[in-house]
Structure 1
Amino acid sequence: MWEHWRQDWIYRLLAVGLAIILWIYVTGEQNPTGAKVVRVPLETVNLKEGLVVADRPEDVQVRVEGRKAVINNLLPRDVHAYVDLREAKVGDNLLPVRVEAPEGINIIHINPSQVAVKIDKIEQIQLPVQVSLVGTPAGGYRALEPVIKPSQVIVSGSAAILKSIGRVYVEAQIDQARGNFLAQLPVKVADRDGHPLEEWLSLNPQVVETFIPVVQDMPSKIVAVRPQLSGEVAGGYTIDRVILQPEVVEVFAPYKLLASLDYINTAPINIAGATKNVTVETNLEIPSGVQVGSFPRVRVVVEIKKTDVQAEGTVNPGRAS
């Protein structure tokens, strides 16, 4: 038997080899491999606090390989390309690109395999927010001066990027509007050529309240704002003065309504039992048929003080003749 095996061992090894080759061939036919080049956004991670990325490539090319069924369904978002900035310093840094891919996908080549990343210290500036109107109001209507709250935002970023800012703005869609526009709008930043810069900057706040009066083409008039106080202050106290912001508003209405309109009340302000200043932001009570050309809210400060303890008619000894 041993002699028989020794005589046939070459044939036995050949049979095993043929079987392996046949298995590889059949497997390859059923699950063929393929390659693909994907353009992947380049991200940054582990940047130290107080620093900001001033410049870096937007993406890299990654050549991957795997089963065709998997490769054909692979999307750029499935591949993660990033640069680790843990050891990055202020200035120019040449750092390797790292790539992570789904299971079953092999990374064949990264182009470029190293990228230049510029790091700066974070600086801040305060800039006013402009309003960019998109469209025009309906016929017979017009848009008045916008009101933004807050009117300025803090922009943080590298010194070079901050210097390149052309404007900070919000976009308000008022096409065919027939009434006031009020919305919370995201703040946008563009360079002097109009290109967006949001990726390189941080904003505080990121959203501002935007009010655009859209009024009919009617006669206008400036009228006073009158505080409508409700209740009485506590005993021994009195109202010193009332401060309004704004004190007057522009109103739009037919001539007949304007003729009898001299002021607009605020909503009732409760001062019952007050012993200290009352500060509120309240609405205006706008009469029917009247439109207001400013933000329809008013800040009211009711200053309250103690009354003079000296009774009326009593002669002040210090002033007696």
Structure 2
Amino acid sequence: MMINLRNLVRRNLPVKILALIAAIIMWGYVMNEENPSVNATYTVPVEIVNAPEGYNVTMDVREVSMKVRAPRSLMATAHEYDFKAVIDLSGNTEGDYEAKIKTVIPQGFELLELSDAVVNVSMESLIAHGVPVEIAVSGKPAQGMDVGSVQPVQQYVNVYGPRHLVESIVKAAGRIKLADNTADFTMRVKLTAVDADGNQVTNLSVLPGEMDVTVQLVPGMGKKVVAVKPVVNGILPEGYKLGGVTVEPAQVEISGATRLLADIKSLETQPVSLAGMTEEGTRDVELVLPEGVTSPNKTVSVGIKINKK
């Protein structure tokens, strides 16, 4: 039986081979007509793999275009996320590199064209550096109050990021706005890295990025000019009467908290005693200054005029 089967296979073998070839060609023709190959272009991001830790990576090419070919049936179900463009940075350190782009495409697809074959890559160390904290105050407290002190909970913070940016930072700045505040307060303030030119650099990390700041308010200081009122007491000897009292200067400047100065209209002198006086004269007398109030004039001259009855 094996002999008969072998004879059956060998009978008209050339014709059978030609028939098989013709069938394959026909199948290919039919498939090409029914499911022809088509082209498409996909734009995909360049992905980084095996990047070492502690570096900031920048690239001159962020995405590439892939032109591919595949049967229409495969192309109909394909999506952009099925195609990948990657660069491998394993083993690289700080510096500039030219990295070859490797592509990943689905089975059954043929890559015809890639917009960029290589990417220029720059790797820069990420560092941290301590900078002082500076808090600016805007607005005004309540009338009669001034800002005594502004105290952040920390005097220094760390700025973290690419080396060239971190090395340009001179301070971490925050801002507090006053609005008729009457008492001390503490608030949370956001900090921003600032370079030597006063520019805010936002693509850096400030650690911590926020902190408590305490604002202490004190009575506001001011100046004003007030009249001087001489004070006399006692009784003149028999046969004499008071002809008049003068003071020089008649006005003086005083300084102190504005809330204290607001109620002061004039200053009195220490009392001048008339007891036993029979002749007019001048006395240097100290001013009576309220607590917390000062004056460049510690004493004034009080003139006493005495007449006989």
Looking at CA atoms only, which structure, 1 or 2, has the larger radius of gyration? 2
Q: Same fold (TM over 0.5)?
A: no
Give the alignment's TM-score, normalised by structure 2.
0.43
TM-score by length of 1: 0.41
Q: Which has the higher strand share?
A: 2
